[in-house]
Amino acid sequence: MWLNKQQTIRSAIRAYRKAVQRSTPSLVVIDGLFDPARLDEVVTVLQQEQHWSTQHHSYSALYVNNETWQKTPDTERFVQRDLWLRPLLCTNSPAATALAFLQFLRGDEFMSLLSKIFDVQITDINVAKPEINTNFFRLSARDFVNQHADDSPGREICMLLYLNKDWQDHNGGELVFIGQNEQPVTIAPLYNRCVLFDPSSEGSEHWVKPVSGDSAVAYRYNVTSWYWSE
Ligand SMILES: O=C(O)CCC(=O)C(=O)O
Ligand SMILES: [Fe+2]
């Protein structure tokens, strides 16, 4: 059981739906949605150095190799962060738990919960490679996610889940949405905090504030997962 059942009872889902309808951007923040003990197992795996690989995106190209990146001006540099590469064979290793969680986030139970919250039918039937839509990432003080929109035709929901135990204000790394009337919405990346938003809604462009370099915390961990309608 990955979900914290208390957070998915009918009255809770109703409250999430209302929050989505009333906010700009269309957004709900759910703390404690998952079973924290199971997330602990996932975090243990993410803290291992293996499986991480650095990714660079510019505003004009999704994947940029090192040579091109060196020539890319700062203003064109959009994302630098590490992606968790799925191990190919891990039936008995701890990595299997982390992999199982990514699979859960792509499964019927979770997608049906999202469908109820956003009042739209989420499905992977037209998604060629569902697994590339759900990933773990980590950001260090050197890394960045600059301002962007995640909208794309048929992409209905973006889920961000934060996996940072004991995260403090001075660690930085807040998610910021443009919001309405120049009133940005700022969200700290706290443990077991799930942010769900409609990437095509007004004010949904966002970025991540830098992670502070002068703390003991080396990385900010999160899941980014995108969901589609037919
Ligand atoms: O890490 C975050 O808080 C945001 C990540 C993000 O915007 C994305 O993956 O598209
Ligand atoms: Fe994003």
Containing domain of residue 139, as a range? 5-34+104-228
Burial class for 27, CB neighbours closer than 10 Å (0-12, 13-18, 19+): buried
pTM as predicted: 0.96
What pLDDT is recorded for position 94?
A: 80
Q: Does ligand 1 lie within 6 Å of residue 222's CB atom? A: yes
Q: What is the CATH number of the domain that holds 18?
A: 2.60.120.620
Q: Does ligand 1 lie within 6 Å of residue 40's CB atom? A: no
Give the number of the atom of ligand 1 that is nearest the alpha carbon of residue 206: 7
41 three-class SS: helix
Q: Does ligand 1 lie within 6 Å of residue 171's CB atom? A: no
92 in a domain, yes or no?
no
d(CA 220, CA 174): 10
Structure-token pair, residue 5: 């059942």
56 three-class SS: strand
The amino acid occupying position 109 is E
**Which residues have C-beta within 8 Å of that of residue 201, sequence separation ≥ 6?**
24, 25, 26, 27
14 in a domain, yes or no?
yes
122 in a domain, yes or no?
yes
179 in a domain, yes or no?
yes
46 in a domain, yes or no?
no
DSSP state of 18: H
User: How many structural domains is the chain composed of?
Assistant: 1
184 in a domain, yes or no?
yes
d(CA 41, CA 25): 32
What pLDDT is recorded for position 24?
A: 96
Q: Does ligand 1 lie within 6 Å of residue 206's CB atom? A: yes
CA-only gyration radius of the chain, Å: 17
70 in a domain, yes or no?
no
Ligand 1 geometric centre to CA of 208 (Å): 7
126 in a domain, yes or no?
yes
Q: φ, ψ for residue 79 (rounded to 5)? A: -135, 135
Ligand 1 geometric centre to CA of 160 (Å): 7
Full pLDDT tens readout for the chain, 230 residues: 999 999 999 999 999 999 999 999 999 999 999 999 999 999 999 999 989 999 999 998 888 899 999 999 999 999 999 999 998 876 667 889 999 999 999 999 999 999 999 999 999 999 999 999 999 999 999 999 999 999 999 999 999 999 999 999 999 999 999 999 879 999 999 999 999 999 999 999 999 999 998 777 889 999 999 999 99
What pLDDT is recorded for position 130?
A: 93
Give the number of the atom of ligand 1 that is nearest the alpha carbon of residue 195: 3
